[in-house]
Each structure stands twice: as structure tokens, then as C-alpha cells.
Chains A and B, each alone.
Chain A
């Protein structure tokens, strides 16, 4: 298969397949998890402002007292790469064009030099986290094949995308095709791995907030 054929495939059938699996996977998994439901809490509630499911969805993004000082790498590198990913995915002009072709809407992007800078920061943050996962006893102890696999799944799109823009290593067409392929792999595996936290984090934080909010405790 030539470079161009590869690129055409990942842009065409590959993409359709990946998005299809992604969407169906997400819907199925959301159903699988949340259809279990939960019993109603019959204890007399204690209503306290700020103690609810919704407020925890937001509040939990702030490290609780003492934790940032205790684990700066996890929090700082974690935020850098999450925010970095969001910025790159949603504010890089070629990506916005892609969303436009898919959804019919577009929005202003950030200057490409900024995206480039953010991409480098994101790559560094992810490498730092990989190193941290290898060296910190608790992280290493908890880590399974899935942790390393999903790290690679998330890292490769950023790396290949950045390399493509920089015209590094391989011809642009190939690099671009690889980038799209890695994104498709990410999409396919996302619903079925810990990456699904991208969706369940809202549900989990909400449940925690609601259960504790019933007691008037703002978590």
C-alpha cells in the first residue's frame, strides 16, 4: 500500500470504523454502568448549600487541603496534559476543520505557535507522568498492562501529530496517516479501558457529591 492509499484509508473507512465503534462503545458502556441504578436514600437529609452532586463535579477539580504539596507531580503534570490535550484537540485549526466537516460547526482557533508550545508541554508532562508511574511505589504497584497501553494510546497521537507538523522523521503524508491511525486506535479503545473516565468522571463525582450532599457534607 502506498503512502497515499494508507492516508486515504485512515481518512475514509478507518475513520468511519473508529468513530462508529467509539460512539456505539460509549453509548453501550454508559448504559452498562448507569443502568444498574441505585437505591433511594431514606435517611432524613440535611441540606447544606454547596453540598450536592453538581458542585462536586466542579469542586473535585481542586486538590483538597494538603494534597498538592504532598503529590505535586501527579496534580501539575496531570493538569498540564489534560488541559494541553483539550487545547490541541479543540483549538488547532486543522482539527477545527475536521470537526466542521463532521458536525458542520466551527470556531476560532489558537495561533499555531501556541499550539506547538502546548504540544511540547503536553509531551513533556506525559513523559514525566510515565516516569512517575515507573518510579513511585504506589503507582508502580497499581499499574497493569492497561496503564502502559493507555498511556501509549494517548501519547502517540500527540507525538505523531506534533512530528507531522514539524515534518520530522517520516514524509508528511505517512506521518499524518500514522497520526490519524493512532487517533483511531485511541477512539476504539477509549470506551473499553480506563480512558472511559473521560465520561464517567462526571457520573462518579456526581454520585460522590450527591451521597455526601444528602448528609450535608460538601466533598
Chain B
């Protein structure tokens, strides 16, 4: 057994717990999980059956944790997990799985398959079988602070841009602010309007907020690659920043996996509960809306539909808020089939969009999303995740569909009156 395989096997053994054991022993090979997975439904290839993506882990579980399995191993009747096999499984565990969780909710015996994939990735990454694309992102996050190499000066440049355009100051390292706003590299790079939108919204809602110079990045590549150690380093930066600034709530940006990493896995990675709350920006906007703090004007009149980011809705439990927000600023909001909890993945989450070799497969899988659009025929699509936006734009471009994709936070901010803040004389 090579050193890296040994490491991978050791990690896998550590992460197997009672739920995983229960799940492996409950699977009856009914194949329903495949019917819920867009990578199977759009390709027809049974190797993408979710439970099959876990086969090496299942065998390892059997050989290490069951009496019968250990007996079989002893008499040479079991097939060991090998380097080659793990290498072969890389495509199944990463390229063809976005951790969307649809498989988990349809399994009739109650198997939480995405939970298992997440744990399997720990072993895959420890044995060196994680895709290059995500490895690079993870390394950059550790060394530079952002998976895409975004450094503080770049953030400051965006801040200046917003300050000039809106006349609103962007607080940085403001101790005692109520909210610490996290950004994702994707937004800083591709959708800088997000920062301006936040500034406008916070200004109108009358809330104090701040960015943090040592922790502006929410994206957690460690989570995607399946490396808890890496994931922990990233989360701890945020925790330190939040505690140093004594904020009440940390806001996770429009990036699904960042939310999952911070909100649901963060405390477990740190080994202690947080002293602050974590909320997704859409949750916060939902709260503001309920409290009557968002005084919007006007409506979008074109036909709009909403794509639920998997980590926000199905995996994160934030489903109603986006709909209430849409109805606040849109006259013609229509739901796509399977909207809400059972919505279909864009095909690019969980690190998938960072894997170049997986692009063809993603385009195939995108046909599912496309079919939803073909049914509902919107003029524009609204969503709340920077990665979903780009993945969908790419998919739409690939299929030559002319359908703009916009972000919900920006849309809300667009309907707030322009802030009345006088600019200081003589720049």
C-alpha cells in the first residue's frame, strides 16, 4: 500500500460513523437515487448512480468495521481498495457530484448520500486524488487568503469604487458593528456590484456593518475538496476576525457552499460553538423585509423565475425568504417546475465548476436546468449564488439561449432609493 493510499484509508476509517454504517447497511440497490441525480438523468450512464460513487468507501467499511467483512478479508475473499481504484473514482466523486443533496432526500431507506460523499472526499483528498482545479484553489486560500488569489488591495479598490459611485462609505475593521459581511472571490471578481448593493441595503436598514481586512473571504475550498484541516484554517480566520471585531452576526455572501461551510460545518471544524450568529445574506434580507426595513420602490415587470442554489435551499433550509423578496420587487414572478426544496442543481457547485475536465459532463447535466427554463419560459432568471450565476450563463451560452441571469441581492438594492449622502467637497 502506497503512503498516500495508507493516509487516505486511515482518514476514511476515522470519518466513518454510525450514520454511515447504518446507511451502507440499509441500501437495497433500488436505484432511486440515480433518478434524482442530474448527472444520471441527463447522461443515462448508470455509473453516476449516487450510491455507486461510494463503492470503495463501502468496501472499506465492510472490511474494517464488520465481523463478516473482516472474516472475508482474513480468508482472502475481499477486494482491497487500491490507488488505481481511487484514481478512477475521482471523476465520480468530484466531477459528477456537486453535493446538491437530491439523492439524499429521495432515498427510501433514508440514506444521506451527500453526507457520505462529503466524508469520502476527505479520504480522496488525503490520498491525493482530489482534482487539480480544487487543489489549486485550496492552496491559494491557505497561502493568499482567497481561492482565486484576491488580495486585500483588490478588495480596497472595489471598496473605493463603491464609495465613489454611491457616496456610501464601506467600513473596514469597524469594531462593535452588528454585522460582519463576508465576500466571496467570485463576487469580488465577477460581480462587484454586490458590495455596492450591500452598502445601499445596510444604509437604508440603518444597520452597522463592516468588512474585515484579515478575513474577507467566505469561499471554503477546503470544504469542496473534502479536507477538514484546510476547511478549518479558512473558518478559523473568519472566527478570529468576527471575535476580534465583536460582531453579532456574520453574513455569508451569495455563495452556497460558503454558507454550508461556515453556518453548518464551521463550529464542528473548530470544535466549539461560535459566539456569533451566521446568516446567509438572503436570510438577513428576509429578516429586514419582515421587520419592514426594506422600503423598495417600483417593480420589475418582465417574467422572472428563481433558481434555488442547492446549498441555500435544500441543504440550508432557506426557501421561503427568496420568494418573499422576489414578490416584493417583481410583478411577474413565476416558479419553475420542481422549484424550492426539490429544485435541480445548476451542475457547477461543490467545486465542480473548477474542474476543467468536467466541463463536457456539466454541459450535458445542464440540460436538466435548461428543460426547466424551456417549460417556464422566463425573460430573466434570478438567483442568489455567484457560482450558479456563472454556471448557468455558461450553460445558456452553450445552448444558445438568450436568457440573462441576475442576482437577488442586487435586484433588491436596485429598488431601494439612491442613498442621500452628501459627498465631501473637493475630492
Chain A positions near chain B (C-beta within 8 angstroms): 28-29, 32-39, 41-44, 46, 48, 51, 56-57, 60-61, 63-67, 70-71, 74, 78, 133, 136-144, 147, 192, 194, 196-197, 200-201, 203-209, 211-212, 214-217, 219
Contacts and interface: CB of A to CB of B under 8 A. Distances in A.
18 contacts: A36-B20, A43-B273, A51-B317, A61-B108, A71-B32, A137-B44, A138-B49, A141-B47, A142-B31, A200-B22, A203-B22, A204-B23, A204-B112, A206-B110, A207-B22, A208-B104, A211-B19, A219-B105
Given A66-B338, A196-B25, A197-B27, 14 more contacts: A32-B65, A33-B25, A42-B270, A61-B108, A63-B108, A66-B342, A137-B46, A138-B40, A197-B26, A197-B28, A204-B19, A207-B22, A216-B317, A217-B316
Interface in B337-354: 338, 341-342
Nearest to B20: A36
Contacts, number: 171
A32 B67 contact: yes
A185 to B, nearest CB: 17
A71 B271 contact: no
A48 B266 contact: no
Interface of B: 16-23, 25-32, 34-36, 40, 44, 46-47, 49, 51-52, 65-68, 104-112, 115, 263-268, 270-274, 277-278, 314-317, 338, 341-342
Contacts of B314: 217
A168 B408 CA distance: 69
B50 to A, nearest CB: 10
Contact of B31 (A74, A196, A207, A219): A74
Contacts of A35: 18
A60 B31 contact: no
A39 B17 CA distance: 8
Interface core residue of A33, A56, A139, A204 (most chain B CB under 10 Å): A204
Contacts of A214: 264
Most buried by A among B36, B51, B105, B271: B105
Contacts of A48: 317
B46 A207 contact: no
Nearest to A32: B66
Given A43-B263, A71-B35, A207-B110, A64 B29 contact: no
Contacts of A71: 31-32, 35
B13 to A, nearest CB: 11
